[in-house]
Amino acid sequence: MNTSRDDTGLLISMAFSNAGHVFTHMLTILYATAVLYLPGEFDLSYGEMLGLSSVGLILFGVGSLPAGWFGDRWSQVGMLVIFFIGIGVSTVLTGLSTNTMHLFIGLSLIGLFASIYHPVGIAWLVAC
């Protein structure tokens, strides 16, 4: 029997899950649009600027394997906390980048932290 308290917890879980999913996809693809403006800021070609995101995109896929493992064996909620804090800090650092090395590191960290959501967040939502 569901109580009002159970329904509230489920709604909160769904809200966090949806927010995580939006942040994951929005932040991993946002650079593809922002890069149209950046070559003039960093004195690199469009192709070179686009290449800065390649490691982050690889980490987005490869990082999901250890993220899922930690989510199953340690804590799904703990991994989601790491996801939200990590992707938030990485996004701020990327936005404050003053050179291409900082931009590369920030984009790589966004990819790494974004890799946590799909194997952990979806499993967590289903378990709720």
Tally of CB atoms within 10 A around 123:
14
Instruction: Give the model confidence (pLDDT) of 103-125 as tens digits.
Output: 999 999 999 999 999 999 988 88
pTM: 0.90
pLDDT over 70, % of the chain: 96
Please list the alpha-helical segments (H only) found in 54-99: 54-62, 64-73, 76-95
Res. 2 pLDDT band, cuts 50 70 90: low
Q: Nearest-CA neighbor of 59 among 87, 99, 101?
A: 87
Tokens (6 digits) for 6: 């159970």
Segment 26-50 shows an average pLDDT of 91
Instruction: Give the model confidence (pLDDT) of 89-104 as tens digits.
Output: 999 999 999 999 999 9
Segment 59-67 shows an average pLDDT of 97
Tokens (6 digits) for 66: 């250890």
As a whole number, the mean pLDDT across the chain is 92
Domain residue ranges of the chain, discontinuous segments joined by + = 23-127
Give the model's pLDDT for residue 105. 97
